[in-house]
Amino acid sequence: MRNTGRILIFWLLLVVTATSAARAEPVRFHTLDIPPYGFTDAAGMKHGMLYDIANVIADEAGLNISHDLVPLARIVKEVQQGVPLCTIVTKSPFSESMATAVAHTGQDTVVAAVARKGIILKNYEDLYRLDVVITRGSYIGHKFDKDTLIKKRFANDGDQGVRMLQRGRVDAMVAPLETTYFNMAKNGYDRREVTAPVPLVSREFWLHCTKNSFGEGLITTLRNATQKLAKAGTLAKIWDGYLH
């Protein structure tokens, strides 16, 4: 009888150990591989406003994570396939159709037009007489996307677009304002050399996790951590740090 009890305790310990090990498995995080949201520097170190924000949320939640920088198309594909992961992207009916919107990080992306200093840009209609650069393949979710009356030029990325604007090859640029300002700073292009932005569309950044892949306890922990850090201004400080 004593041996039976010892065997039972032994197996219970194995179950507890296995369960703890399973819980210790890192939660997969993906961040957009687009500066300033996520990028790798010359030394191979990962950085980025959303990359850093995701890291501090995970740390506040007490999670062990694996964190990669990946293209948006891969994030969408893996979430659609039900791969368990969390990511920070703009909230939309499309994002909510395949992922649980956990919490707003407190940051919004504003897609806006800016023009070189001296060019009149006060409203959307002013774009009709300008050469406007956008990132190739970008989708804004605004009538601008299909407006054939605007003369559009294409850049491979935001950095190239800013350089085209800076060198006078185009009159204006349409992009998320945070990417425009980040790439301007990178290229030594003073904000005073462009017009005040004309906003086209605004969307909120939310932490999302693949639907039906994580327990409600984990989702609640992540929600509480995100809201706590947002309220304290921690996430805004990270965001702003990449824009100055």
Residue 138: the pLDDT is 87
Instruction: Using the predicted structure, report yes or no on whether residue 5 has a pLDDT greater than 60.
Output: no
H helices, E strands: number in the chain: 8, 10
Residues 6+ apart with CB under 8 A from 161: 133, 134, 135, 155, 173, 175, 180, 183
Which structure tokens are listed for 96? 């909510």
Mutual angle of helices 234-241 and 216-232, in 10-degree steps? 70
- Of the pLDDT bands very low, low, confident and very high (cuts 50, 70, 90), residue 22 is very low
- Of the pLDDT bands very low, low, confident and very high (cuts 50, 70, 90), residue 206 is very high
Nearest to 218 by CA among 62, 105, 87: 62
Report how far residue 17's alpha carbon sits from residue 184's, in angstroms, rounded to the nearest whole number.
52
pLDDT digits (tens, 9 = 90+) for 55-98: 999 999 999 999 999 999 999 999 999 999 999 999 999 999 99
Instruction: Using the predicted structure, report yes or no on whether residue 6 has a pLDDT greater than 70.
Output: no
Nearest to 57 by CA among 214, 209, 243, 202: 209
Average pLDDT over residues 97-122: 97
Which structure tokens are listed for 174? 């349409």
Instruction: Using the predicted structure, report yes or no on whether residue 18 has a pLDDT greater than 80.
Output: no
CA 27 to chain centre: 17
Q: How far is CA 34 from CA 20, 48, 72, 144, in A?
A: 35, 9, 9, 22
| Average pLDDT of the chain to the nearest whole number | 90
- Of the pLDDT bands very low, low, confident and very high (cuts 50, 70, 90), residue 24 is low
pTM of the predicted model, to two decimals? Answer: 0.85
Which 3 state secondary structure label does DSSP give 27? strand
Residue 25: the pLDDT is 85
Residue 244: the pLDDT is 79
Average pLDDT over residues 2-23: 38
Which 3 state secondary structure label does DSSP give 69? strand
Instruction: Using the predicted structure, report yes or no on whether residue 15 has a pLDDT greater than 90.
Output: no
Report how far residue 193's alpha carbon sits from residue 183's, in angstroms, rounded to the nearest whole number.
14
DSSP string, 71-108: -HHHHHHHHHTT---EEEEE--HHHHHHEEEEEEEEEE
Average pLDDT over residues 25-48: 96
Question: Residue 235 is which amino acid?
Answer: L
User: 138 vs 131, which has greater pLDDT?
Assistant: 131
Residue 147: the pLDDT is 96
Average pLDDT over residues 205-232: 97
Which 3 state secondary structure label does DSSP give 65? strand
**Strand partners of residue 207:** 88, 103
Give me the domains of the chain, ranges plus CATH numbers.
27-108+203-241 (3.40.190.10), 109-202 (3.40.190.10)
Average pLDDT over residues 94-115: 96
Burial of 191 (0-12, 13-18, 19+ CB in 10 A): middle
| Residues 177/243, Cβ–Cβ less than 8 Å | no
Instruction: Using the predicted structure, report yes or no on whether residue 16 has a pLDDT greater than 50.
Output: no
Residue 128: the pLDDT is 97
